[in-house]
Structure 1
Amino acid sequence: MKKEKVILIGAGICGLYTAFLLQKKGIEVLILEANILIGGRIKTISGTTGVTMEMGATWFGNQHSHLLELLHTLELPYFRQHTQGISLFETMSFVPPQKFKISDSEEPSFRIKGGTATIIKKLVSEVGIQHIKTQTKIVSIKEENNQLIVTDSRGNNYSADKVISTIPPNLLVNSVVFEPRLPENFTQLAKKTHTWMGESIKFAVEYRTPFWKQNHYSGTLFSQASIIQEMYDHSAADNSGFALKGFLNAGTAVLSLEERKEKVIAQLTTFFGPEANEYVAYYENIWREELFTFQPYEQLVLAHQNNGHSLFKIPLLNGKLYVSGAETATKNPGYMDGAIFAAKTIASQF
């Protein structure tokens, strides 16, 4: 009996975990990734002090059972997000921020020890790097002789019995040419499907000491008036490295990196004192500039719009093309848990 071969498009957590599950069923897999890096919207960077900082997917909670199950399977430890101390909420720029404390009884959020990328590294080691090809941007998928021929931007062809796309649907239909063409109702749905993280600007400021904690602040900040809209302590689990990390106002994408950095440090200095100016380094990631993740919408698309739509469950190209990924999940779409649930959903059909 001929062994079925499956090509997966995208080496994010959904693509990797789908490959992991398919291999357990004895299916041959090949993952094609456009980027030079593996991980998709999981992007852990390391500072000069050794602290890891998340420019992509970060937090999860007890409600994310599929992610928790995978962390247990891969034997990856996680820890509770630090929230102890004084937190700040700025409603207007001309009045001091309100101070409040987050109760220990509130539902906790967690982070993976050593950075979220540890889950990617573990899945890569399980799947095998030899089954992953990076810097391979797919430009066309053609149905031919009961197989799908996948062509990359260099003109290389790959054939498979089935293809599973795990990249955002809007990116898929705008960057890949299909022969025969995909149904118009699917194409229009994909174009109106929200890409999670697409509007986000994530930032981190690395420090040598956790001065905010020493001064009884949690590091948690919410603002409706300044460049930092949401921020949290981002120290390492063992307190070997320290950082503050969060989200910037998406509208500031029009500013330069230096302009954003200046505004961030000014805001932190106003709230936490002159020690905030003694930073090691500033980092940021504008996700709308990630060409292998985000494709601008043709019209207004709201957060989570069409995520988990029932049309994504139906295979295309005579049952050979499956559309998966975090946006297609019917549970926690857009989140890591949704990406894992989507992988389970697709793998169960093979």
Structure 2
Amino acid sequence: MNRRTLLKSATLAAAMAAVSTSQTSLGATRSPKRIIVIGAGIAGLAAASQLAGRGHQVTVLEARTRLGGRLWTSQAWADAPVDLGASWIHEMDGNPLTALAEEAGARLITTSYDSVIDYDVNGRPLSAARAARLATLKDEYQWAIDQGQRHSIDRSLRNTIESELDWASLSNADQELLAFITNSTAEQEYAGSRNDLSTYWFDSLGGYDGDDAVFAEGYQTLINFLARGLNIQLGQTVSAIDSSTSTVKVTTNSGTFSADRVIVSVPLGVLKKGTIRFTPALPSKKTTAINKLGMGHFNKCYLRFPTQFWPQQDWLEYIPPQSQHGQWSQWLNLGRLTGQPVLLGFNAGDFGRQIEAWSDAQIVASAMARLRLIFGQQIPDPVSVQITRWSQDPFSYGAYSFNKLGAKPAMRDDLAAPIGNRLFFAGEATHKNMFATVHGALLSGRRAATQAQA
């Protein structure tokens, strides 16, 4: 079981329909085109791989000095590769990533959200009574969302929960549990603050079934597989795209490239920042989508210790006081997954953004204060750490997209819409139903490739 299952509402048939319209077409084209793909994340590489397989002349321009975009496997620990970006295949059964991983020969390890220990505000395992209350409040939380989605006006997720459940009448203990549920099932999943997430549309609608899994050697296994044989130029920061002439011109820090068609697969955060100048200007529907959709904050803190002092469960959850909402409430035990004594702490939404301004030492001190509350003052300091700051990254400006209050799902279709059969758009933010997922990014790349070769 996984957290997405709690709120998943789409059918598998709808998801499979999305796959069937995006599969790689086979056979060489009779009219090869020059096509530039901007971005070597999984969306861009999926598009480029499909197009190159059809015989088109494809060039991938990537601003970074590495492949993968928001898929980034760190090899800093030779005996324990870790993903600094996305980690999971969510719901493996029927997921196109599962088939691709098998084709790539990648080794997958399943994780389960049923393998969990919850700790109370004092760092003690939840009592049986408190655990029962948590289960009851999860049902009430879902009821509140159902009511909110029937409301005549969309509200923030926080507003909905607090209004529908008569927040002022609840005990502080129940408020703590509900705030934790909101963080663990919504903020941690979609990277948006509970103050910003749309009640109507916060949850991705497309999904599959089955377990979640991580890559034993990291997502880089899949990236390297997709990149085989492609013409990829690294260190190419795109500043302008001009489609006003007979060929599309792409300007980078090293010169100008020309093509018949261009696929733009940069993250939503980059489009929001306006670092790429489009000529002619983007249509108003597309700019509205860029402005109204949210770009989330989600960061990881890997702590490697001399020995493992925590239990064997996959997940360790801490229910913080309301004054520390969402702070170090989610931990993943990587001992079973890597064979090494590593804990991974997640922070999303407001706190995920806040700590990006902190030094590594400050972040580690904050994390260790939480762990020592739970496991005691005697636990050792970490011997090594790896910390992300995705919202400061100039080639992403955030972790992944979410449906912000005021945004509507149709805006993702507007973001994805081709312009004049010359410019095409891909990336997780362009998938109406499967945004904020790697499989959504993969399918968007295949969709853009199919459009570009038409």
With structure 1 as the length reference, what TM-score do the two structures score?
0.84
2:107 corresponds in structure 1 to 77
Distance 1:86 1:188, change over 3 A: closer
1:252 and 2:281 correspond? no
Q: Give 1:110 shift.
A: 0.9
Q: Take 1:188 and 1:211, find their aligned partners in 2: how far apart are those partners?
A: 49
Q: Following superposition, which runs of at least 4 residues in structure 1 exceed 4 angstroms of deviation?
A: 82-86, 216-219, 303-308
Out of 202, 205, 212, the position equivalent to 2:300 is 202
Q: Give 1:314 shift.
A: 2.4
Task: State the secondary structure of the residue aligned to 2:329.
Answer: strand
Contact 1:53–1:234 under 8 Å retained in 2: no
Q: Take 2:67 and 2:237, find their aligned partners in 1: how far apart are those partners?
A: 13
Task: State the secondary structure of the residue aligned to 1:333.
Answer: coil
Contact 1:219–1:244 under 8 Å retained in 2: no
Q: Take 1:120 and 1:236, find their aligned partners in 2: how far apart are those partners?
A: 24
Q: Take 2:405 and 2:341, find their aligned partners in 1: how far apart are those partners?
A: 31
Q: Take 2:394 and 2:405, find their aligned partners in 1: how far apart are those partners?
A: 19
Contact 1:19–1:127 under 8 Å retained in 2: no
Q: By percentage of residues, which structure has more helix? A: 2
Distance 1:276 1:191, change over 3 A: farther
Q: Take 2:243 and 2:368, find their aligned partners in 1: how far apart are those partners?
A: 53
1:111 corresponds in structure 2 to 214
Question: Which structure would you say has the larger RCO, counting Cα contacts within 8 Å and 6 or more residues apart?
Answer: 2
1:212 corresponds in structure 2 to 310
Q: Give 1:184 shift.
A: 2.1
1:332 corresponds in structure 2 to 434
Q: Which amino acid aligns with 1:108?
A: D
1:51 corresponds in structure 2 to 80
Q: Which runs of structure 2 are paired with 1:18-167 in the superposition (5 Å)?
A: 18-48=47-77, 50-59=79-88, 60-62=90-92, 65-81=95-111, 87-90=117-120, 92=121, 94=122, 96-98=124-126, 108-124=211-227, 126-128=228-230, 131-154=231-254, 156-167=255-266
Q: Take 2:357 and 2:376, find their aligned partners in 1: how far apart are those partners?
A: 28
Q: Which amino acid aligns with 1:169?
A: L
Distance 1:268 1:49, change over 3 A: farther
Out of 271, 280, 304, the position equivalent to 1:180 is 280
Task: State the secondary structure of the residue aligned to 1:262.
Answer: helix
Distance 1:183 1:83, change over 3 A: closer
Task: State the secondary structure of the residue aligned to 2:243.
Answer: strand
Deviations 1:46-87 (A, max 9, x none): 344621222210122236612112212222221112668661
Contact 2:314–2:334 under 8 Å retained in 1: no
Q: Take 2:336 and 2:111, find their aligned partners in 1: how far apart are those partners?
A: 10
Q: Take 2:84 and 2:443, find their aligned partners in 1: how far apart are those partners?
A: 22
User: Sequence identity of aligned pairs in percent?
Assistant: 21
Q: Give 1:165 shift.
A: 0.6
Distance 1:127 1:252, change over 3 A: same
1:221 and 2:317 correspond? yes
Contact 2:299–2:390 under 8 Å retained in 1: yes
Q: Which amino acid aligns with 1:136?
A: Q
Q: Give 1:306 shift.
A: 5.0
Q: Give 1:112 shift.
A: 0.9
Q: Which amino acid aligns with 1:98?
A: L
Q: Which amino acid aligns with 2:418?
A: P
Q: Which amino acid aligns with 1:161?
A: D
Q: Take 1:271 and 1:78, find their aligned partners in 2: how far apart are those partners?
A: 30
Distance 1:98 1:305, change over 3 A: farther
Task: State the secondary structure of the residue aligned to 1:14.
Answer: helix
1:292 and 2:395 correspond? yes
Distance 1:134 1:47, change over 3 A: closer
Aligned residues: 331
Q: Give 1:29 shift.
A: 0.9
Q: By percentage of residues, which structure has more strand? A: 1
Q: Give 1:150 shift.
A: 0.3
Q: Take 1:230 and 1:27, find their aligned partners in 2: how far apart are those partners?
A: 45
2:415 corresponds in structure 1 to 312
Aligned-residue Cα RMSD (Å) equals 2.9
Q: Take 2:316 and 2:409, find their aligned partners in 1: how far apart are those partners?
A: 29
- Where does structure 2 lack aligned partners over 5 or more consecutive residues? 1-29, 133-208
Q: Take 1:285 and 1:304, find their aligned partners in 2: how far apart are those partners?
A: 29
Q: Which amino acid aligns with 1:191?
A: N
With structure 2 as the length reference, what TM-score do the two structures score?
0.66
- Where does structure 1 lack aligned partners over 5 or more consecutive residues? none
Q: Give 1:202 shift.
A: 1.2
Contact 2:243–2:279 under 8 Å retained in 1: yes
2:188 corresponds in structure 1 to none
1:270 corresponds in structure 2 to 373
